Structure 1
């Protein structure tokens, strides 16, 4: 649902929603600058200069999409120039916010993409490793949770995840990462589902999570596709409708495990 940052779109971004709590600090002022007429790359770069007064320390600077040379891969351009091509609209707006909050992790993802490109070259199809990297970049969430809750989530044992184990969500922290996921949640729908990566540390700050996550990501882990699936609006306290058991009795959203028997490891 690509959309420019028009007044109507801005009105649709409800910064008070739980899933945007980690993004409001950067996102709201940048959105207001765009509304005032500043091009989106320039508005993002204002925050870059605030966060990294020494421009040499900034992970990237944002440039118009037209700056991406014809025939050059997006990830290759970022790696070589530290310039991130940016379109006007929600998708790249949230991508910019993720760069601002998770600079180490985004840089690590870029590095992993480049390792795969060096190995296999640029092809019409990304291949399994780069596909998994892209899934994480676009649609990941990171969850710190007790073992029993994580195990039930991996098993898609929804009655336990959101029923018997519901109190354990108070001991858990979920942070959304994927910029496409954040974009979709501007217009919340019940089927929106995150690919969840398990945090092995208690999430106490975004900076701390960024440092840990950048060190945890590896090609081998991505090859194993260690994601659990989580319909985001099912998270207790995140959506009024999920206060009743009936909300979860929707097999089109809270799906049964696949018959493949694939196991997801605790990453």
Structure 2
């Protein structure tokens, strides 16, 4: 496992959990062993981690976790971050897994996942939760990037973003401008990881997921998350900061 800069704003919420797990990996332990060692007293409800080889050929990954309460884990950064999210948001991850397994049981595993599984996969891989003032959220929904990141720049001091998509966390080891989270809004009053875990688990309902209650947020646009975003013209790059159709038509 490569070193991780836990002072980076996207990794900082995971530092307390992650630094010890990473140290065990760097000392020669397999990722699943290091994650299991960190489970006490933070054990996810009924879930432990095991080597990837325990997943039988042809068995769906999500169903295996649901039925056997073991998360197959490879020795790489992708599964390291997945394990951290299991430790930090155990009830939300368990709920996502339950919904995935239910969808697989009902519809099987085909070329298309269906709207609920698709939304679950997007959020599991690239999700984030934003706690922010109304004006910040409204500008984000409108994809009004100049207002969101320039006019409202001081209001970001009142906002908190937790990246919980493990693939996005992996990619942020080498941050680049285009990295984008699929953001779900949470109540601003939520201040702890445990409270956020309980809240998010309750929000994960099939009918809500089918509507994809997320909105895209280029994370390196967030004030304080990238020195370059203080430079003039940073937000003019429409390959990353794509305007909404409404704003584009009114321009």
TM-score, length basis structure 1: 0.88
Structure 2 counterparts to residues 112-261 of structure 1, below 5 A: 112-258=99-245
Is 1:19 aligned with 2:10?
A: yes
Mean Cα displacement is larger for which, 243-252 or 160-169?
Answer: 243-252
1:72 positional shift: 1.1
Cα distance in structure 2, aligned partners of 1:109 and 1:250 = 34
Mean Cα displacement is larger for which, 243-252 or 132-141?
Answer: 243-252
1:59 positional shift: 3.6
Long gaps (5+) in structure 2: none
Q: Does the aligned pair in 1 maintain the 2:183–2:216 contact within 8 Å?
A: yes
Q: Does the aligned pair in 2 maintain the 1:75–1:113 contact within 8 Å?
A: yes
Q: Matched residue of 1:19: which SS?
A: coil
Residues 80-103 of structure 1: CA deviation (Å, up to 9, x unaligned):
111000011000000000000000
Q: Matched residue of 2:229: which SS?
A: helix
Cα distance in structure 2, aligned partners of 1:99 and 1:155 = 32
Q: Matched residue of 2:120: which SS?
A: helix
1:69 positional shift: 1.2
1:58 positional shift: 3.9
Instruction: Report the aligned-residue RMSD.
Output: 1.6
Residues 163-182 of structure 1: CA deviation (Å, up to 9, x unaligned):
11112211211111100010
Cα distance in structure 2, aligned partners of 1:41 and 1:59 = 15
Residue equivalent to 2:31:
40
Q: Matched residue of 2:217: which SS?
A: strand
1:201 positional shift: 4.3
Q: Does the aligned pair in 1 maintain the 2:31–2:73 contact within 8 Å?
A: yes
Q: Matched residue of 2:87: which SS?
A: helix
1:128 positional shift: 2.1
Q: Matched residue of 2:182: which SS?
A: strand
1:124 positional shift: 3.3
Is 1:95 aligned with 2:79?
A: no
Q: Matched residue of 1:229: which SS?
A: strand
Q: Matched residue of 2:36: which SS?
A: helix
1:113 positional shift: 0.8
Residues 29-60 of structure 1: CA deviation (Å, up to 9, x unaligned):
111111111111111110013434xxxx7441
Give the ranges of 4+ consecutive aligned residues of structure 1 lying more than 6 Å apart after TM superposition: none
Cα distance in structure 1, aligned partners of 2:130 and 2:45 = 27
Q: Does the aligned pair in 2 maintain the 1:145–1:172 contact within 8 Å?
A: yes
